[in-house]
Amino acid sequence: MSRDGHVGGAVRVSGLVKRFGPRAVLDRVDLEVPRGQVIGLLGLNGSGKSTLIKCLLGLLKADEGSATVLGTDAWQLADREKARIGYVPQEATLYPWLTVRQTVAYVSSFYSRWDRAWGEELLRRWDLPLGHRVGPLSVGQKQKLALVLALGHRPELLILDEPVASLDPVARRWFLETVLETAADGAGTVLFSTHITSDLERVASHVALLREGKVMFHDEIDVLKDRVKRLRIEAQADLPADLCLPGTLRQESRGRQALVTIDGVDAALVAGVRERFAAEVVVDNLNLEEIFLELHDGEAAATSRAR
């Protein structure tokens, strides 16, 4: 349940298709984000993350399927729903002729529930020069300002499109803490896309992996980590070039040794490998970045092999 009593998921996407010309940038995407969840969108450049976010914000119209945000069709978001959403784009496009102080005053005038004290606290925290015009600010400062503008009205749903790429490490830490604060009371939902997987691991409970417009994986990060692991195999004799293990994402074999990344590792599979190849098997846990790379490299290799 939200602060004002609304029930239901924060974001619900079903069979979403978005085409630019003949190319489907989003291809039957399904995604559900309950309220209070912090979810990261992970994907390569061009995988459709920004397009998905723009569809959720009603900036782009889906060709097929549906997207609802805070219980309302994303294309028909009304002022009530928008007042509960905060958004930071990839490149903060603000008002270059205004000062920082004027920008905050201007944007806050749109929101009846703007938390002035919270806004000032954020400005102070990020050390933004109030009297300076926005145009000549650095990219990082503009991004910080965009975050202030997105957070000042204490949104129920915060959508962030690669927001931290231009921030310095200190600002990134502040940012992540702020995101956690937003989600801390369980009512705030955060959906953000990023390439920095360590940040995602730090704040997100869930992750959705996008690849070529499709959701490859969507679940808790811990589930993903449990599923995808790397086996280090050392056999008595030379190993075959293809071990033919189920769920293999990537395999490197050299003589009696092999490294195999597998989606869906369990005890039976490990025991089977030991028995079949008379080998010692060590199971390595992977962090999110490694899993991300393995998933993409593995898919690419599989596609290449199939060709």
Partner 1 sequence: MIAILRQYALVLWAIVSRPWTLLMLGLGLLYVGPFLGAWLGGRAVPDGAMTAVPVVETPSVLGSFGAAELEEMARGGRLDSVTDLDTQAVGRQEAWGLVAPNGRGRSGSQLTRAADEGPGAWPLLDRFPSLDRLWMSPPDMLSEQGWERIGKHTALEVLSLPNVSSPDAETLSRFPMLARAALERLPNLRELDLRGTGGSFELLLPPLPKIEVLAIGWGRLEENLRTLADGSPRLRVLAIQTWFDIGFTPGMIASLRRMPNLRAVYVAGAYQAEDEPAMTRQVDELRRALPGVRVHPGTYRSSRVWTSFWATLLGMYLPFVFWFQSGLLLSTSLAWMLPRRLAPHLFWAMAAAAACGGIIVALLVSAGVAWMPALTLTLFATMLVAGGTLGEVEGIAGRISSIVLRVELIAGLAAAATALLAPWIIDRWLSGAMPWLSVTLLAAVIAASVWKLARQARLPRILASLGLANPPGLVIDVNQGTLPKQPAGSFANWQLKLAERAVDRQIDRPVPAPYGEMLRRSQPRIQMLLMVAIMLVVMVGMMWVIPVVIARGTGQPPPPLSRYLPGVIAAFAWQACVMTIAQTAGMWGQRRGSLVIDFLRPVSRAGYWRGLRQAIARDLSLPAVLGAVCLALAVGLDGKGGWWAWGVAAILLVGTFALTHAMILLLAVTRWPLVVGTLMVVLLVAAGIGIVIALSHVLSVSKPADLVMALVAAGAVLAVGLGIRMGVLWRLEEREIG
- Contacts with partner 1 by CB under 8 A lie at 54, 57-61, 75-80, 82-83, 85, 87, 89, 93-99, 102, 105-107, 109-112, 133-136
Quick one: 137 or 209, whose CB is closer to partner 1?
137
Q: Which amino acid is at 260?
A: V
Q: Which are the contacts of 204, defined by CB distance < 8 A and separation ≥ 6?
A: 38, 39, 40, 190, 192, 221
Per the CB < 8 A criterion, the answer to whether 190 and 182 are in contact is yes
Name the residue with tokens 């990020």.
Answer: 126
Which of 274, 270, 278 has its CA nearest to residue 230?
270
Which of 43, 49, 31, 13 has its CA nearest to residue 197?
43
Between the alpha carbon of residue 238 and those of residues 80, 242, 255, 277, the distances in Å are: 66, 12, 5, 9
Quick one: 63 or 220, whose CB is closer to partner 1?
63
Q: Which are the contacts of 31, defined by CB distance < 8 A and separation ≥ 6?
A: 11, 12, 13, 52, 208, 215, 218
- The least CB distance from residue 20 to partner 1, in Å, is 10
Per the CB < 8 A criterion, the answer to whether 289 and 198 are in contact is yes
The two beta strands, 206-211 and 38-43, are parallel
Quick one: 112 or 303, whose CB is closer to partner 1?
112
Angle at 119 between CA 117 and CA 123, to 5 degrees: 115
